[in-house]
Amino acid sequence: MTAIPFKENTVIVVFGASGDLARKKTFPALFGLFREGYLSDTTRIIGYARTKMGDEEFRSRIKEHFDLRDRSESLAVQFLKMCTYESAQYDKPEGYQKLTDGIEEFEASRGVDRPHRLFYLALPPAVFIPVAERVRKYCHPGEKGIARLIVEKPFGRDLATARELQKKLAPLWKEEELFRIDHYLGKEMVKNLIPLRFANSFLHACWNNRYISSIQISFKEPFGTEGRGGYFDSIGIIRDVIQNHLLQVLTLLAMERPVSGDAESVRNEKVHLLRAIKPLNKENVLVGQYARSEDGKKPGYLDDETVKPGSKCITYAALTLEICNERWEGVPVILRAGKALNEGKVEIRVQFKETKNGIFSHVSRNELVIRVQPNEAMYMKMNNKIPGVSNKMVVTDLDLTYSQRYNKFYIPQAYESLIRDALNDNHSNFVRDDELDISWSLFTPLLEYLEGPDGPDPVPYPYGSRGPSQLNGYLAKNGYVYQGHSGGYQWPVTTPEGAHKSKM
């Protein structure tokens, strides 16, 4: 693959440069783009934060998290020379004025007549607006150039706060200048959903309620809050994962075909899909909170000293959506996510209807499984005759495991992919204001119920388990038919890590 660098002399400013997000995700992503030839060596990258340190200390800190593959040490040295650091307050004008002076000096030395500046807010939500205001006032190049602002989630904690955030951002930054980043939209298998659906006629033809019986999108983490419960306690798993990551995946999985490939056509169809979702049924939700592991070695959520005693914070949730349109009417969509589970995995599972009549009415259902992470893969569970003289049927699969098929390809990390899109001014994989509003409209009533005085107590489940013991019953009630190892099917081990493709 031939890498084409971006336009030259772009200035990228990362606010919150001393924080974990910037050090572990943002700067390693920028280095990854540079390493692969997708970022020009004329780019100027500036870290901005309150922590006092010099350029060399800053460079040493961010380098710790670089992926130094295949002789890239020399590239890291070259990249770090492109990086500088400014220490200043977020609420005082002096730091922004000094920052702009440095940017303009750099652009003047390069003869830049149309500035291109990207500002990345790797910051807590409390300082989004103060920083956005001052960047607009002091650092925006105005009509003579291009400025773009990347904002990290959370975009509010409910409908009211999301609207308040948007109300304050809208007068400062046009929608075309804003990039609300949800890193799941940058994952390879998520970005592949549109090509998979609309470039393959055999899938497109059966992608409807005539053939599909249920859809699941699941997110599993094998660890708990690990001392960060005080932060998670005010958020919970629905805000953290389901309202944003999993819902965004669903929009791409279920939307209608866009009229074109441009960003607004894609985002229009995502909005149409969101508008077709029924209000969430608060009675049809399974919520849980992890307790101490069965062997007593792993602490429960309430054992975390940063968590308030008796907290009802939800660390596991399964809920079912209904889409009211011609394509999906009657197909339950189950979104489920949890912490402190038996494995780490993000997966899409599309289960097809059973074969009801004829000589093969007894066979297992087909399933298309898309593993988003780890070890990207797609496979279709299918029925096949056992080789030889027997006529017995067995479940097998059509398998596309990326580590085998595409082992020589560069697959970017999610943040690499999305920063590249922002630099190219491609909004396709970013959340639009009306998308955000509708998604919070869906989830806010449910959250108010769950967190209110009449909300249910979360069901305890052991650290390291599959989740609440009621999960199988919940899935069955909502249309998923669990087939286990029916038909002699064995989950194949296809990666060096020994990662099984699919356990419920």
Active site residues: 245
CA distance 166 to 156: 9
Question: If you search the block for the tokens 């770090």, which residue do you land on?
Answer: 80
Q: Answer for the pair 337, 287: CB distance below 8 angstroms, yes or no.
A: no
Question: For residue 6, which of 44, 33, 34, 39 has the smallest C-alpha distance?
Answer: 39
Give residue 448's identity as a one-letter amino acid code.
E
CA distance 313 to 311: 5
Q: How far is CA 70 from CA 36, 74, 75, 389, in A?
A: 11, 10, 10, 51
Residues forming beta bridges with residue 116, ordered by sequence position = 146
Cis peptide leading into 154, omega within 30 of 0? Answer: yes
- The beta-strand segments (E) located in 16-63 are 44-49
Q: Answer for the pair 223, 339: CB distance below 8 angstroms, yes or no.
A: yes
Pairing relation of β-strands 345-352 and 212-220?
antiparallel
Give residue 318's identity as a one-letter amino acid code.
A
Give residue 246's identity as a one-letter amino acid code.
L
Q: How far is CA 474 from CA 26, 284, 469, 477, in A?
A: 39, 9, 10, 5
User: Per-residue b/e over 43-71, b at no fewer than 16 CB within 10 Å?
Assistant: bbbbbbbeeebeeeebbebbbebbeeeee
Q: How far is CA 275 from CA 158, 216, 322, 325, 437, in A?
A: 17, 20, 11, 10, 11
Taking residue 237's Cβ as centre, other Cβ atoms within 10 Å add up to 24
- Residue 210 CB partners (closer than 8 Å, separation 6+): 353
Q: Answer for the pair 349, 218: CB distance below 8 angstroms, yes or no.
A: yes
Q: Answer for the pair 69, 408: CB distance below 8 angstroms, yes or no.
A: no
Q: Where would I find the H helices in 110-185?
A: 128-134, 159-169
What would the two tokens of residue 105 be?
């000096």
- Residue 60 CB partners (closer than 8 Å, separation 6+): none
Question: If you search the block for the tokens 């797609």, which residue do you land on?
Answer: 378
